[in-house]
Structure 1
Amino acid sequence: MKTLPTKDEILAWIEDNPTKTNKRDIARAFGIKGAARIDLKRILKELTAEGHLEKRRKTYREDGALPPVSVCRVLAPDADGDLFVEPVEAGETPPRVLFMAKSSDPALAEGDRVLCRLTKVSGEDYDYEARLIRRIGTGPTKILGIFRKGAEGGRVTPIDKGSDKEWRVPPGAVSGALDGELVEAEQTGPRARMGLPQARIVARLGNPSDARAVSLIAIHQHGIPDDFPEDVVAEAEAAQPVELGAREDLRELPLITIDPSDARDHDDACFAHADDDPANPGGHVIWVAIADVAHYVRPGSALDREARKRGNSTYFPDRVVPMLPDALSGDLCSLHEGVERACIAVRMVVDAQGRKLSHRFTRGLMKSPAALNYEEVQAGQDGAPNDKVAPFMEGVIAPLYAAYHALADARARREPLNLDLPERRIAMDEVGRIVSIAFRERLDAHKLIEEFMVLANVCAAEELKARKVELLYRVHEEPGPEKLEALREIAQASGFVLAKGQVLQTSHLNRLLKQAEGSEHQELMNISALRAMTQAYYAPENFGHFGLALQNYAHFTSPIRRYADLIVHRGLITAHGWGDDGLQEDDLKAVGEQVSMTERRSMLAERDTTDRYLAAYLSDRVGTEVEGRVSGIARFGLFVKLDESGADGLVPIGTLGREYFAYDRDAQTLTGEKSGVVIGIGDRVLARLAEATPETGGLVLELLELDGKPLPQTGGPARKMGARGRKLGKSRSKSAKLKKKLKRKR
């Protein structure tokens, strides 16, 4: 019998022969036969117990080493553009694996799963090289949830409102997560038909009860990039202030910024004065200057690639995820008071009735004399200027309001959609706790800036269209026939009229909203009209902006926080020959689809964050009574918008009294089978707050009163499920038919 090999010899052989790692291969390599196999088995068990080997079914391999063929997940390209992959079952400290692509390989995206052949290397800053065998599929399911440690690994409870299934985490996939910690996990292996699906933890996000974890949850849940690559930060920090050069000198114009008091950046400034042209009596000249972001973010640069990837900035109550690094968004591209800043400006001439007569774009250098907020500007206009505002009242602020009133007259004639939907403001303290939730007051100062920005956006679209330069329009198409018919039915049920048989205009919808103004159905009509609208998007084709009642509209005024505006700036640079940083050959259709997607992503993340903050704010009020209006109807229950906070809570259908409620999707109602009670959008309710879950943002309510009256308690035991009610109803129907049949036979 051949002498048994030492443990070191076995380990060395396994490392040299990674494709032959079962016990039979090892025995054959060392000439071990018969009863000696028992001793070999003992040695292999000892090596496994000592941590030198790990057993995988019937094979052994060096602990920490990877099998020659592995399933890997594609990572994002690094700063040098190299693509790395991560073996799915590599343990808590995976080695670095460089993907060696061939020209025939398909394009791979972050998160894709691939089957690769791995080769161990030495002398490099990575451990393995991977070559593609085949692509298995797109990225695995991601789960954001709370980790609960168990005897063998643990479980992740998702924080999504609609998800109630837990995920099992095996011991080797915990990644050091602590019990109760917020984690990001991803699916491993196929979905199991029986039992819990399996996942591994890929990121630990800290304590979920931390007030600042709320927005962090949304960032990870929606895949919003929140860390800038090193080359992007370096490029931004290397930027320098702009000198006058060939730019128009606008430094003597008192272009002031007017923003929220907590504004993080200042990307627009304005100035107005009476037009001294005798041919335009009572007219106004309006200047709008916008930060010249295009000067710093050049096409094809690292900054440009990252800005396009993000598409826009995302704003949360406690933080902002900017489109550009702070060196630009908070400094060189922000029109700070008293410093020279590069800008692209438009000079617009309007008549006394607010009709635009002409406009002219220029690339300039400005110096804002003041950074003011909406409240202090409005207070000054109302006769109570503070020390900062007072010096600008006569020469700057009064002319701004005069020009605004002319534009307001033009707006009234144009009749854009006039929805009355108050905006919530969540105020927080220094550590991220909610101090108050209130509705923002709509001041004339807000409307002034909005009207100036709308007019500047119109000018940009008209300018590029006239010069035949490509751009991204801001498109808002009219409502589809189905949504319009649903709105018409809700209006008729409320006693109002939305006429048929005519080309829909915003004026028709405004007349409907005017009919409801001051009535108990005012909020219902505003919510229903909003839901009838299509979602705005960016595209190189011009289909007009229905909501604003404008034929030509583009976004020009916020290039710090919207990539679409940067495209418009580049178009203006190209159209006027202002430099080599203009619009390059690009697929604007694809760019429009990308930035439309990122905009929707940010909106969902911001909404989810608000829901979670509201749930946290209301969590200590569970059991109290709250008032609100029905804001939505679904088969599984109804949604109520609370008066005080504007939060939306769910009343499950199984809790609505002791009868079955039938759902009418077209009429958006729930009707009691026995009582005949009809619950519809806009109804006043009194409810009890039953649950408030900050992790998911979910609020559960118990309905107490409908329009001042308690719900009738009819029938037998409460039915917990609408589906069960339907089955019982069918059973009664069959029973009645059977009785009739028997009666006829007798």
Structure 2
Amino acid sequence: MNPLPSKDQIRQWIAENPGLTAKRDIAKAFGIKGDAKIDLKRLLKELESEGTLDTSARRFRVRGELPPVAVLLVLPPDAQGDLYARPLEEGVEDAPRILIIPKKGDPALGGGDRILARLSKVDLDDYGYEARLIRQIGSNPLKVLGIFRKGSEGGRIVPIDKGSDKEWRVAADLSMEARDGELVEAEAVGNRRQMGLPQARITARLGDPAGPRAVSLIAIHQHGIPDQFPDAVIAEADRADTAVGLAGRTDLRDMPLVTIDPVDARDRDDAIYAEPDHEPDNPGGHIVWVAIADVAHYVRPNSALDREARKRGNSTYFPDRVVPMLPDILSGDLCSLHEHVDRACLAVRMRLDASGHKISHRFVRGLMRSAASLHYAQVQDAADGRPDDKTAPLLDRIIKPLYAAYEAAKQARASRQPLDLDLPERKIILDDDGKVTSVAFYERFDAHKLIEEFMILANVSAAEELQRLKQPLLFRVHEEPSQMKLDALREVAEASGFTLAKGQVLKTAHLNRLLAQAEGSEFDELINITTLRSMTQAYYNPENFGHFGLALKNYAHFTSPIRRYSDLIVHRALIRGHKWADDGLSAWDIENLDETAKLISDAERRSMAAERDTTDRYLAAYLSDRVGAEFSGRISGVQRFGLFVKLDETGADGLIPIREIGREFFHYDDTSQTLTGADTGTTFTNGMRVTVRLTEATPVTGGLILQLLTVEDRALPVGKPGRGGRYQPRKPGLAAAKAAKLRQKVIRKRR
């Protein structure tokens, strides 16, 4: 083993090798191995504290010098037409001039542009660095969404953001010939500090603000979902280390882990592998590996990437687009477990007994290479005896052992009795123009359930491991329903002819018995929906209150760090607890865990609301051509102002206003969630089958207005003439006469 280098030797080597400045590169250059790496780490810390070195993204550089890749501000061209730049890197003062060396195919640059460039140090009098363009950060400008208002010299954009009165000026040659009243997407151009309205360039004409291509964009802006990555975040992602070594990692590349995702998946953050457990103490048992993308390797605590991911909380999914938590270079590439490429991961090895109960687990930080990227239907076809060219070689070694382990896990699940809701999930199908062509049901295979069950096992293992290591973490908490919601569920159940146990500590098994009673009956979907609505909303918390719905005492999200910040926190806690590296949970992370839990819980609700609003708008647009058509459905909600109906065909929710229900007065009972006619005694409650006519569909709001035609296949009963009925405005003349008569009566009494 070589002796530890001096501080001067380290400084000189870093200055001479700006592209190889990670700690492992320095250790390799000086032949430092084993425990000596601890002394090297101490030496580098001392150099940093002395002010000799800077560190950025786990790389060191001599203070005052620039990193090999940096963000630059382009200066106006000099008298000779040459372009120079200055660094925007923090901690760099009095840096020498940087000459931009263009190459064929580079975009034209001008003063004020920001670029990401590769730097080479030179020893010349005029400048100290040469820069070669990687990409123009101008491709990540401020985005604007609004309504275009045409003017004599172009026009202006009126934003749709709530509370924003800032307008943008659009020159005629930058308007893309947009029409007055069109929804447009634009980007800021020019100097934003100039006088007058800021300037913008229209980049996309989205047409009618109520049209299909505008739907998700409106939701993004209305709910304040951040959809534009700051330049610093993009630059940091672009600087990410693409080569991950084995140092400090377990080599899992020979293990045939596979990913199983939807056919249109862009990111793949989990991979699985199963095999029989041949140990004599576990006859008939299984070993299941779950490997998850090591996002913590790239997203360091308190970095620009980390701060943006924490603000976003999660990725948000719409029928036509995804607003990711991380930039695409990470979410779609470096952190995605693509087949046949090396990827950093955190993995857990779980031993299951013959009945599927987990008897032990072990976590490692590894390097993996996916054997195949598969999709659900493809895997299910193979398991059902219809393998294709890709799955046929994997059938015996990979797919069959996975299904064998899943069959065992199903037994453990059955004994645990998690809430067994059966709610068909509808998928909105769009054409190339963003218009809804159909609303279909998602096909749900055992391949889906297999992945879900193994992910749950991995999440449980993560929570238990961090409790064993006494590490702070964020639990996924799901508390049991309130008594009021349980009473409402019981009312619906009894009205449908079923029973829900009363007077005992509620368990998911009790709810499952109710769901089993309704299974196959006409009330099946109603009972499932009402049971779901009775549940409290899950959230994140540093304290463990258990997960009622899954019937689990310990549960934390570990398996999706690409799209959930909570999982990244859990990964960091595991790294810290196992002392794998210095990129684990930071002191700041721990101190602000309560605030982080609230932020990401709120972000999750924000995304759910935006996704729900988008679905409602798409469905309203889809049904707008069928105004006047009749639909069957079931009452899904009862309020004082009317009835909500879920349509069978699309799953869309529409409102029957109280004035459309019948010609009588209706009493509303909040406890039983019913409307009862004063004359006929007709009672409307959740679950009743109805036939309705669509009278109004408003895509811009997602609203559907319905007219009630029949209830339980019977025509509406008619109340007494002159009683209640449809709302009729009072005639002004009669109202004035009545008021005058009342005033005279009051005056006589006073006398």
Both proteins in one fold, TM over 0.5: yes
- The equivalent position to 2:410 in structure 1, one of 408, 411, 418, is 408
Distance of aligned partners of 1:181 and 1:418 in 2 relative to their CA distance in 1, 3 Å threshold: same
Letter in 2 for 1:690: T
**Alignment RMSD (CA, Å):** 3.0
Distance of aligned partners of 1:368 and 1:173 in 2 relative to their CA distance in 1, 3 Å threshold: closer
Alignment of 1:552-571 (within 5 A): 552-571=554-573
- The equivalent position to 1:432 in structure 2, one of 431, 434, 443, is 434
User: Does 477-486 or 290-299 show the bigger shift?
Assistant: 477-486
Say which SS state the counterpart of residue 338 (structure 2) adopts: coil
Cα drift, residue 702 of structure 1? 0.8
1:93-126, CA deviations, whole angstroms, 9 ceiling, x for partnerless residues? xxxxxxxxxxxxxxxxxxxxxxxxxxxxxxx99x
Alignment of 1:647-658 (within 5 A): 647-658=652-663
- The equivalent position to 2:598 in structure 1, one of 589, 593, 598, is 593
Cα drift, residue 498 of structure 1? 1.5
1:536-568, CA deviations, whole angstroms, 9 ceiling, x for partnerless residues? 000000000000000000000000000000000
Letter in 2 for 1:549: A
Cα drift, residue 181 of structure 1? 3.4
Cα drift, residue 632 of structure 1? 0.8
Cα drift, residue 716 of structure 1? 3.5
Distance 1:490 1:223 in 2: 37
Structure 1 gaps, min length 5: 1-78, 81-123, 126-142, 161-166, 185-199, 725-746
In the alignment, is the contact (CA less than 8 A) between 1:156 and 1:168 conserved in 2?
no
Say which SS state the counterpart of residue 450 (structure 1) adopts: helix
In structure 2, the partner of 1:297 is 299
Distance 1:575 1:610 in 2: 42
Instruction: Kindly indicate whether residue 224 of structure 2 is the aligned counterpart of residue 219 of structure 1.
Output: no
Cα drift, residue 474 of structure 1? 0.2
In the alignment, is the contact (CA less than 8 A) between 2:286 and 2:353 conserved in 1?
yes
Distance 2:164 2:465 in 1: 58
Distance 1:579 1:333 in 2: 18
In structure 2, the partner of 1:359 is 361
- The equivalent position to 2:705 in structure 1, one of 680, 700, 706, is 700
Structure 2 gaps, min length 5: 1-69, 72-111, 114-143, 171-177, 186-196, 731-751
Cα drift, residue 308 of structure 1? 0.3
In the alignment, is the contact (CA less than 8 A) between 1:473 and 1:540 conserved in 2?
yes
1:460-483, CA deviations, whole angstroms, 9 ceiling, x for partnerless residues? 000001110000000000011111
Distance 1:575 1:404 in 2: 30
Letter in 2 for 1:498: L
In structure 2, the partner of 1:273 is 275
Cα drift, residue 209 of structure 1? 4.3
Cα drift, residue 486 of structure 1? 1.5
1:709-744, CA deviations, whole angstroms, 9 ceiling, x for partnerless residues? 1112333467445999xxxxxxxxxxxxxxxxxxxx
Alignment of 1:561-710 (within 5 A): 561-585=563-587, 586=589, 587-710=592-715
Distance 1:209 1:668 in 2: 34
In the alignment, is the contact (CA less than 8 A) between 2:270 and 2:559 conserved in 1?
yes
Distance 2:685 2:560 in 1: 40
Distance 2:434 2:456 in 1: 34
Alignment of 1:492-511 (within 5 A): 492-511=494-513
In the alignment, is the contact (CA less than 8 A) between 1:626 and 1:688 conserved in 2?
yes
TM-score normalised to the size of structure 2? 0.71
Identity of paired residues, percent?
Answer: 65
In the alignment, is the contact (CA less than 8 A) between 2:158 and 2:168 conserved in 1?
no
- The equivalent position to 2:257 in structure 1, one of 247, 255, 258, is 255
TM-score normalised to the size of structure 1? 0.71
In structure 2, the partner of 1:485 is 487
Distance 1:721 1:517 in 2: 40
Distance 1:372 1:183 in 2: 38
Letter in 2 for 1:618: L
In structure 1, the partner of 2:742 is none
1:565-588, CA deviations, whole angstroms, 9 ceiling, x for partnerless residues? 000000000011110000011211
Distance 2:393 2:425 in 1: 31
Say which SS state the counterpart of residue 490 (structure 1) adopts: helix
Cα drift, residue 241 of structure 1? 2.7
Residues paired across the two proteins, number: 562
Instruction: Kindly indicate whether residue 519 of structure 2 is the aligned counterpart of residue 520 of structure 1.
Output: no
1:335-390, CA deviations, whole angstroms, 9 ceiling, x for partnerless residues? 00111100000000000001111100000000001100000100111111111111
Cα drift, residue 619 of structure 1? 1.1
Say which SS state the counterpart of residue 212 (structure 1) adopts: helix
Letter in 1 for 2:385: G
In the alignment, is the contact (CA less than 8 A) between 2:639 and 2:668 conserved in 1?
yes
In the alignment, is the contact (CA less than 8 A) between 1:285 and 1:350 conserved in 2?
yes
Cα drift, residue 159 of structure 1? 11
Distance of aligned partners of 1:313 and 1:173 in 2 relative to their CA distance in 1, 3 Å threshold: closer
Cα drift, residue 495 of structure 1? 2.2
Letter in 2 for 1:497: T
Distance 2:306 2:692 in 1: 50
In the alignment, is the contact (CA less than 8 A) between 1:654 and 1:722 conserved in 2?
no
Distance 1:325 1:154 in 2: 30
In the alignment, is the contact (CA less than 8 A) between 2:565 and 2:600 conserved in 1?
yes
Cα drift, residue 211 of structure 1? 2.5
Letter in 2 for 1:595: I
Distance 1:155 1:582 in 2: 45
1:233-285, CA deviations, whole angstroms, 9 ceiling, x for partnerless residues? 11111112312222101001110000000112100000000001011110000
In structure 2, the partner of 1:26 is none
Cα drift, residue 149 of structure 1? 9.1
Distance 1:202 1:650 in 2: 43
Distance of aligned partners of 1:249 and 1:157 in 2 relative to their CA distance in 1, 3 Å threshold: closer
In structure 1, the partner of 2:83 is none
1:265-322, CA deviations, whole angstroms, 9 ceiling, x for partnerless residues? 1000000000010111100000000000000000010000000000000001110000
Distance 1:155 1:626 in 2: 40
User: Does 285-294 or 486-495 show the bigger shift?
Assistant: 486-495
Distance 2:199 2:618 in 1: 25
In structure 2, the partner of 1:443 is 445
Distance 2:245 2:156 in 1: 60
Cα drift, residue 493 of structure 1? 2.3
Alignment of 1:321-340 (within 5 A): 321-340=323-342
Distance 1:652 1:687 in 2: 12
Alignment of 1:357-396 (within 5 A): 357-396=359-398
Say which SS state the counterpart of residue 705 (structure 2) adopts: strand
Letter in 1 for 2:623: L
Letter in 2 for 1:444: D
In structure 2, the partner of 1:140 is none
Say which SS state the counterpart of residue 212 (structure 2) adopts: coil
In the alignment, is the contact (CA less than 8 A) between 2:339 and 2:371 conserved in 1?
yes
Cα drift, residue 156 of structure 1? 9.1
Distance 2:698 2:655 in 1: 12
Letter in 2 for 1:631: S
Cα drift, residue 420 of structure 1? 1.1
Alignment of 1:528-567 (within 5 A): 528-567=530-569
Say which SS state the counterpart of residue 705 (structure 1) adopts: strand
Distance of aligned partners of 1:655 and 1:549 in 2 relative to their CA distance in 1, 3 Å threshold: same
Distance 2:157 2:341 in 1: 55
Distance 2:556 2:641 in 1: 41
